[in-house]
Structure 1
Amino acid sequence: MSSRPQTASDPADSAVGAGPRYFNRELSWLAFNRRVMEEACNTAHPLLERLRFLSISGSNLDEFFMVRVAGLKGQQMQEVEAHSADGLTPAQQLAAIVDEASELVDSQQAVWNDIVGELDERGIEVLDADEIAGPVAEWIEDHFRTQIFPILTPQALDPAHPFPFIPNKGLSVIFDLVRRSDGEPIRELVLLPPASPRFVRMPGDNACYVTVETLLKRFSTLLFPGYEVKGAATFRVLRDSDIELEEEAEDLVLYFRSAIKRRRRGRVIRLEMEEGIHPELEAVLKEELGGSEALLTETGGFLGIGDLAMIVEEDRPDLKFPPFSPRFPERVRDFGGDCFAAIRAKDIIVHHPYETFDVVLAFLKQAASDPDVVAIKQTLYRAGKQSAVIQALIAAAEAGKSVTAVVELKARFDEEQNLYWASALERAGVQVIYGFTTWKTHAKVSMVVRREGDEFRTYCHFGTGNYHPVTARIYTDLSFFTADPAMGRDAAKIFNYVTGYVEPEGLERLTVSPRHLRERLIELVDAEIANALAGKPSAIWAKMNSLVDPTMIDKLYEASNAGVEIDLIVRGICCLRPGIAGMSENISVKSVVGRFLEHSRIWAFGNGEALPNDGAKLFISSADWMPRNFDRRVEFMLPILNHTVHDQVLDQVMVANLIDDEQSWELESDGRYVREVPGRKPFNLHRYFMTNPSLSGRGAALAKSVAVPKLSLRRWRAERNG
C-alpha cells in the first residue's frame, strides 16, 4: 500500500528477535497523537482546521497524562513491578513517555509558532504584551478593569496564607514582588477563574486576541499597586483524573457522585511552567504542587495547547473546511420517512457522518410516538449534553411505553453528564439500569418492540459509535438497522444480561464479550490459517481504533506465518509489529487521520473464496481488539448477511480505507509511521464519501447508476498484487 520503496537496510528485513515482539501501548498512543499534530502542518487543510488539529493534539495529551500516565505513576509509587507486554516496568515506561512527550510538546510549540505567524498574515492576530499599544491598549485596559479585575483574587503566599488548591487544568500566574515603600519582598499567586475564557477578543471585524495571562502580567500594577514586579511566571497543573471503582461499593450512583468530587482534587501528575521561570519560583511550585512526584515540563511558548480551540471558532469560512451537510438515507425516504417500513423491507446500513445521525433520532422518535410500539430498550454510553436521544426516551415513557435505558456511569469524563441524564430519565418513568459494577456496557444497541397484527416484531439498531449527535457529525461510524427476528432475540438476551445478569445462552447471530468474542475471532483467524495451509485463498481485513491484545496479535502472527494476507487499518494504538520476516511479513498496518475521525470497527475474513466480494465473512462491532474490550466490557460483534449491505461495507467502506493515499500513514517494522505519498490518481476516502452517494440500502437500485463509483475489493487486490 505504501509508495515508499524498501531498501536493503529496511527494518522489515530484520530477523525475528531484532526488536520487541510488541510495540509499547503508551508510546504507540503518543505516535498516534503526533500524527494528529502533523495534520496541523498539512497545507492541504485550511489554516483554522490546521489549528484545530493542533488543539486536539493538546487536549489528547492532557487526557493521556490525566489517565494513562497517572495510572503508571500510581504503580510506580506503590512499587508495582508489573511488566507491559513489551517487557517494560512502570518506571521504564514513564521514562520513555517523558522523553517522547517532551519532544511532542516541543513540536507542538514549533507548529504553533508557525501557525500564529500565518494567522497574522490572514488577519487574525494573537498579541504579545509588547504588541499592545495605541487604541487597542486603551480598550484592553478598560476591559481588564471592568471585566477581568473584579473576578480575580490575588493571594499572598506566606505562613498566614498557605498555597491555594489549583484545580485540574488550572492556569495560574505566580509573582515575585517588592514593596516600593520599604523593599519588603512578597510572593503572590493569581488563579485564572476556570469558567472565564482563555482569550480576550477585541471588538471589530479584524480578529485580535490576547491571553488572560498576558493581561495579568501587563496590568500587574493595577493588581498590586505600590509593588514592583521582580518576576512572574505562568504555570498549569494536570491531576490524576481516573476513577478507580471499588468492588464493594454498595451504591454505584452515590459512589460516582463522590468520586467525581475526589477526582477534582487528584494528585498532580504534570506541572507545566513557562520557559525561563526563575529558579526560586520553580522551587516553590515543585514544593507546593508535589514536584517530587509530578512530571515537570518547561514550555517555551503557549501553555495548554487545547485552549487554542477558541480561536478556531472565529467566523472565517475561508479558513475552514467547506461546510458539509450529511444526507438523509434515501432508503427511508423511499418509504415516506417510515423507518419501520423501510427496515421491515430490508436491512439498512447507514454511514455516518456522510449520512445523518438524524435517521437514528427519527427511528427513536417514531418509536416514541407510534401507538403500536410497546417497549424500547436502549444502551447509553456517551449521549452528549444536548441529547435528542434522551428526549425521545423521555417522550416514550411519558406516552406510557415500557422504556429501559442502560446508562453507563463508568464512561470516562462523561460520568457526571450520565448521572444527570439518568436522573432525568428516572423522573420521566424510564427504568434506568447501571449495568455491571466492574464491567462497562460499551455495546451500542437500541431495540424497539412493536405490535403488528396478532404478534410482536422487534426492530433493532446496532452502532459502531455512540448515541451522541455531536460526535456523530465528525466520527465515521456505521448504523445497522434490522428486523431480523434472530437479531431481535439476540438483542433481548444482551439486555437481559446487563439488566438481570441472565447469561445470554444460545445466541443465533451475535457474539458478545466478555464471554466469547475473543474466542470467536480466534476461530475465524484459525479458519483462514487452515485455508492458507490447504492452498486456498486466505485473507483478513480489519479496521479498528486500537490493536493491543497480545493473544490476538500472536494469532495474527501465526496467520502471517501460515501465508494469510493481512491488511489492518488501525487509527490509533497498534502494538503489533508488521513486516518482520518469520513473524509478520504478510501483515501491513496503516492509520488514517483526516477531516473525520475514523471510528467504525469492520472485520472481514476471506473464507477461502477467490472472489472475496462474494464469500467473505463480514462483521461490524462496538469493540476494539484490546484486553479491556474482550475481558471487561459488554460488546457485540454482528455478522453482515444481507448481500447488498455486505457489498456496501466491504466494497465501499473497507476498500476506500485501504486505497486512501492522501491521509494515510503506514506503520513500519521499527515503529515509525511514514505518510503515504499520493499516487498518480490520489484518493481521499473522506472526500469520496462526501461527494458520492452511499448505497443506503438501495444497492439494487443504484448499482447501475453512474453516480456511484464502483470501488472493488477484488480490483484493489489485483492491482496491489500486480
Structure 2
Amino acid sequence: MSTSDQEQLTSQDAPATGAAPAQRAVPSAPPAVTPAAVPTDLPDDRYLNRELSWLDFNSRVLALAEDASQPLLERAKFLAIFASNLDEFYMVRVAGLKRRNETGLSVRSADGLTPREQLAYIAKRNQELVDRHAKVFEDQVRPALEECGIRIANWEQITDEERTRLSNYFRDQVFPVLTPLAVDPAHPFPYISGLSLNLAVTVRDPEGGRERFARVKVPDNVPRLVPIDRSADEQVAVFLPLEELIAAHLDALFAGMDLTEVHAFRVTRNADMEVEEDRDEDLLKALERELAQRRFGPSVRLEIAGDMSDHMLELLLRELEVHPGDVVIVRGRDSDGFDGGHALLDLSCLWQIYGVDRKELKDPPFVPATHPAFGERETPKSIFATLREGDVLVHHPYDSFSTSVQRFIEQAASDPHVLAIKQTLYRTSGDSPIVDALIDAAEAGKQVVALVELKARFDEQANIKWARALEKAGVHVVYGLVGLKTHCKTSLVVRQEGSTIRRYCHIGTGNYNPKTARLYEDVGLLTAEPAVGADLTDLFNVLTGWARQDEYRSLLVAPYGVRRGIVERIEREVEHLRAGRPAGVRIKVNSLVDEQVIDALYRASQAGVPVDVVVRGICALKPGIPGLSENIRVRSILGRFLEHSRIFHFAGSDEHWIGSADMMHRNLDRRVEVTCRVTDPRLTAQLDAIFDSALDPSTRCWVLLANGEWEPSPADGSTVRDHQAELLKRHRATG
C-alpha cells in the first residue's frame, strides 16, 4: 500500500465532535454496468413477474401454517407473519404500482405488464390468498387451539360472570381512551390512520328516526386480545377481541341512540416514502418532515368483514377515496357457513396467542452456541487473539451473535489498545448493545464513526433516535451518500499492537441486531486479513469523506461493482466449461430479480453450466425451459428461521463470496452493498456444507417449475430432511 496504516487512520477522521452529521454526496462515477445488448437467443418472455412472485412467496409462508406437522403455535405464528407481510406489500409495492398507474407512467414490468394490469392480477390473487388465510385460521388453527384450551371467543360465547368482569375492564381501561367521531355537515369524515382497526357505526335518533354515522378507533395501546380467563399454568387461555368488547358497550358511547349497524374495517395507506434529497439540506430534517407526511398517504387497501352491508361499504369507499378493486373481504365462519360474521381482521394479533406459555405447542427451545473459536460463554477468549490465528465464519442463529459479533464490538470498546471503531448501522434493536458499545468507546476517547442509515424503511424513527444518542456521546455520525442507502454490514476496528497497527473486520449478510440474529439465518466473516482491512478503510473513506473508488482488493461494492463482479464470474464459468474444466454456479439469496444477472445465468445454462439457486422470496427467473434454462434449478426453503444469507459459489474459479446484496435493482443500483470473498479453505468448506444441505434432494423445499408455479418437494412418501434442523444438530455436535 502507498500509505501507512497510521496515515490511513488519520485521513478518514470525521468532522470534530459537535459538527452536524453529514450526508455525503455521491462522487461522480461511471454507471454500475454498461448494459449489454440483449442476446437474440433469449426470448422476450423469459422473466416472471416480481409482484406475483412475491405473492407466491407469501403463499409458501401460508403453506407452513397449513402444515399439520408444524407445532400448533408455530402455525399460528406463520398466520401472523403472512398478515404482516401482506401489510408491507400493500404499503410499499402496491402503493408504488398505484402511483405509477395514477401518474400515467407507462413503465412495464420485466414480463411486459403495465401497472394497471399488475394491479388487476394482484387484486385477484390476493383475494384468493386472503380467503385461504381465513380458512386456515377458522377451519384448522382456531379449532385446534380450542382443543388445547386456547380460545378466541366471541361476546355471545362467554358467561355472564365473564361479561361482568370484562365490562369492568372496559369501564376502567378502554372507555377513557375511546373517542367516537361523528360524521355530519359540521363534522367531516375523520382521518383514518394506516393499519388502524376501526368500527364503522350507524346509530338512529329514536325521536327523529334519522340515522347517523360515526367512527370509533380501536385503541392500539391496550392488548388487542383481552384475556378473559387464564389458568395459573396457562393450560387454559381465553381471549376476547378488543373490537368485540367495544362493540358490546357502544351504548356507553352513544347514550340515548339506537344502534343499527357495527362493522370493523381497516385501511392501508401508501408508506413508500420518497425523500427529496438535497446536498445542501440536513437529511435528518428532510426525513422527519417526510415521516410526518407518511401517515397521510393515500389509501391503497380497505379490509372489511364479509358481513358488511352494501350501504356501509359504499360510504367508506366514498369517504376514504378507495377504488372498489382495492377492497379485500375477510370472511368469517358462523352457523350459516364461511361467509358469516365474526371475521377477525388483522391476524397479526396471533403473535399475542403465540406468546402463551405452552412450550409443548412450539418448536423446542433453542439457545445459540458460542462459536468454538471464541471459547465458552462464561470464559470468553480474546477475539483479537483468535483472529490473529485465522479467519472465523459465524453462521447465525446457530452461532451466537452476542458471543461473536457483539462481543467483537464490546471488546473493541473496552480494549485500551483500540484506536478507532468504524461501523455501519442499517437496522438494530430497540435496546442495542452494539450502540451502547459504540457510545462507551467514544466516551473512552476512541475515534468512533457510525454511519447510520436514516432511510431504512420502517426503522427511520429508531435510527434517528440512535443517531442523536450517538452524536450526543461524541460519536462521529454520518448519514451516508445522497441518493443511496447504505445497506452493507461492516465493522472496522483499528488496534495498536506494539509498533504496528492492525485492522480487524467483520463483514456480514445480516443486520447488527441481536434480536433478529436469533431468528434470521445469516453468515459473517471475522478477519484480520490485511487486504480486507485495507478495503474497508477505503470504503469508509468513501462513505465519510470525498474519496472516489469503485475497485477493491477483496470486495465487490455496489452500486458500481457487485452486479459487474457477479456477471463476470458467471461468464467466467462458461469459459471454464468450454476449456474442459469443472464449472458451476450456486447462489443463495433472498430475491433474484435483476435482469442482467438472470440473463447471465441463462447464457451459462445455454452453454451447459449447471446452476443451482436457493431463493427465499422473489424469483423472476424461469428454470427448466429447453434451450434456455434446462440446466438451472431453483428451490426455496422456509422454516423456523428466516433464510437471509447471500452466498455465491463459482465452482470453476473455486470462489466463494458472501454479502449484503440481493440480486435486485435497488440493491445493485441504489444502495451501498458489500460482497466479500472468503478464501480460507476451512471457511469455504462451511459454505459448501450450507449449499450441500440446502440442495440435498431429500431436503424439504419448494421447487420452481418452468411455468412459474412452486411445487412442494420431495414428493409424498419420500424420505424428507429438514435443512435447518440438520444444521442445528451439526452445530450442537461441534459447539
What is the TM-score of this pair, normalised by structure 1? 0.91
Q: State whether structure 2 residue 418 is matched by structure 1 residue 373.
A: yes
Separation in 2, partners of 1:125, 1:19: 52
Deviates more, 1:238-247 or 1:465-474: 238-247
Question: Equivalent residues in 2 for 1:177-196 (5 A)?
Answer: 177-196=203-222
Gaps of 5+ in 1: 1-15, 609-615, 695-706, 710-722
Question: Equivalent residues in 2 for 1:356-505 (5 A)?
Answer: 356-358=400-402, 359-504=404-549
Deviation at 1:513, TM superposition (A): 1.0
Question: Equivalent residues in 2 for 1:504-519 (5 A)?
Answer: 504=549, 507-519=552-564
Change (3 A) 1:591 1:494: same
Separation in 2, partners of 1:501, 1:529: 38
AA aligned to 1:153 is T
Deviation at 1:52, TM superposition (A): 0.4
AA aligned to 1:259 is E
Matched with 2:353 is 311
Q: State whether structure 2 residue 363 is matched by structure 1 residue 321.
A: yes
Separation in 1, partners of 2:436, 2:652: 44
* Equivalent of 1:247 in 266, 277, 285: 277
Separation in 2, partners of 1:555, 1:665: 24
Separation in 2, partners of 1:550, 1:37: 28
Question: Equivalent residues in 2 for 1:194-205 (5 A)?
Answer: 194-205=220-231
* Equivalent of 1:268 in 295, 299, 319: 299
Gaps of 5+ in 2: 1-40, 332-342
Deviations 1:140-162 (A, max 9, x none): 12212221111111122111111
Separation in 1, partners of 2:532, 2:141: 51
Separation in 2, partners of 1:203, 1:402: 55
Q: State whether structure 2 residue 244 is matched by structure 1 residue 219.
A: no
Deviates more, 1:591-600 or 1:654-663: 654-663
Matched with 2:624 is 579
Matched with 2:263 is 233
Change (3 A) 1:357 1:231: same
Deviates more, 1:243-252 or 1:277-286: 243-252
Deviates more, 1:573-582 or 1:678-687: 678-687
Separation in 2, partners of 1:175, 1:26: 35
Matched with 1:619 is 657
- Could you tell me whether the CA contact under 8 Å between 1:543 and 1:569 is conserved in 2? yes
Deviations 1:194-220 (A, max 9, x none): 323211112431211111111122222
Separation in 2, partners of 1:569, 1:575: 13
Matched with 1:3 is none
Matched with 1:340 is 384
Q: Secondary structure at the match of 2:98?
A: helix
Supply the RMSD in Å over aligned alpha carbons. Answer: 1.8
Deviation at 1:672, TM superposition (A): 0.9
Deviates more, 1:313-322 or 1:334-343: 334-343
Q: Secondary structure at the match of 2:395?
A: strand
* Equivalent of 2:396 in 352, 370, 376: 352
Matched with 1:567 is 612
- Could you tell me whether the CA contact under 8 Å between 2:494 and 2:501 is conserved in 1? yes
Separation in 1, partners of 2:172, 2:427: 39
AA aligned to 1:229 is L
AA aligned to 2:96 is G
Deviations 1:661-706 (A, max 9, x none): 4541101111111111267543211111222227xxxxxxxxxxxx
Question: Equivalent residues in 2 for 1:5-20 (5 A)?
Answer: 20=45
- Could you tell me whether the CA contact under 8 Å between 2:394 and 2:524 is conserved in 1? yes
Deviation at 1:245, TM superposition (A): 2.0
Q: Secondary structure at the match of 1:169?
A: coil
Q: State whether structure 2 residue 667 is matched by structure 1 residue 667.
A: no
Deviations 1:390-429 (A, max 9, x none): 0000000000000000000111001110000000000000
Q: State whether structure 2 residue 202 is matched by structure 1 residue 176.
A: yes
Separation in 2, partners of 1:142, 1:663: 50
Deviation at 1:281, TM superposition (A): 1.2
Matched with 2:47 is 22
Q: Secondary structure at the match of 1:261?
A: helix
Deviates more, 1:599-608 or 1:389-398: 599-608
* Equivalent of 1:50 in 59, 75, 79: 75
Deviates more, 1:227-236 or 1:375-384: 227-236
- Could you tell me whether the CA contact under 8 Å between 1:144 and 1:215 is conserved in 2? yes
Matched with 1:701 is none
- Could you tell me whether the CA contact under 8 Å between 2:634 and 2:704 is conserved in 1? yes
Q: Secondary structure at the match of 2:399?
A: coil
Deviation at 1:288, TM superposition (A): 1.0
- Structure 1 runs (4+) deviating above 4 angstroms are 16-19, 678-681
Change (3 A) 1:331 1:275: same
- Could you tell me whether the CA contact under 8 Å between 2:388 and 2:528 is conserved in 1? yes
- Could you tell me whether the CA contact under 8 Å between 1:405 and 1:433 is conserved in 2? yes
Change (3 A) 1:525 1:567: same
Question: Equivalent residues in 2 for 1:117-132 (5 A)?
Answer: 117-132=143-158
Q: Secondary structure at the match of 2:480?
A: coil
Deviation at 1:386, TM superposition (A): 1.0
- Could you tell me whether the CA contact under 8 Å between 1:173 and 1:234 is conserved in 2? yes
Q: Secondary structure at the match of 1:690?
A: helix
AA aligned to 2:431 is Q
Separation in 1, partners of 2:605, 2:562: 21
Q: Secondary structure at the match of 2:481?
A: coil
- Could you tell me whether the CA contact under 8 Å between 1:324 and 1:690 is conserved in 2? no
Matched with 1:160 is 186
AA aligned to 1:185 is E
Deviation at 1:581, TM superposition (A): 0.5
Deviation at 1:336, TM superposition (A): 4.6
Change (3 A) 1:81 1:293: farther
Deviations 1:139-185 (A, max 9, x none): 11221222111111112211111111111101111111122344232
Matched with 2:603 is 558
Separation in 1, partners of 2:634, 2:389: 38
Q: Secondary structure at the match of 1:412?
A: coil
Change (3 A) 1:623 1:22: same
Matched with 1:64 is 89
Deviations 1:256-292 (A, max 9, x none): 1111111111111111111121222111111111123
Separation in 2, partners of 1:418, 1:365: 20
What is the TM-score of this pair, normalised by structure 2? 0.89
Deviates more, 1:16-25 or 1:525-534: 16-25
AA aligned to 2:694 is N
* Equivalent of 1:259 in 290, 297, 313: 290
- Could you tell me whether the CA contact under 8 Å between 1:271 and 1:294 is conserved in 2? no
Q: Secondary structure at the match of 1:256?
A: helix
Q: Secondary structure at the match of 1:435?
A: strand
* Equivalent of 2:586 in 520, 541, 546: 541
Matched with 2:3 is none
Change (3 A) 1:293 1:241: farther
AA aligned to 1:508 is R
AA aligned to 2:472 is R
Q: Secondary structure at the match of 1:202?
A: strand
Separation in 2, partners of 1:19, 1:502: 41
Separation in 2, partners of 1:78, 1:354: 47
Separation in 2, partners of 1:257, 1:375: 30
Q: Secondary structure at the match of 2:538?
A: helix
Matched with 1:286 is 317
Separation in 2, partners of 1:126, 1:20: 47
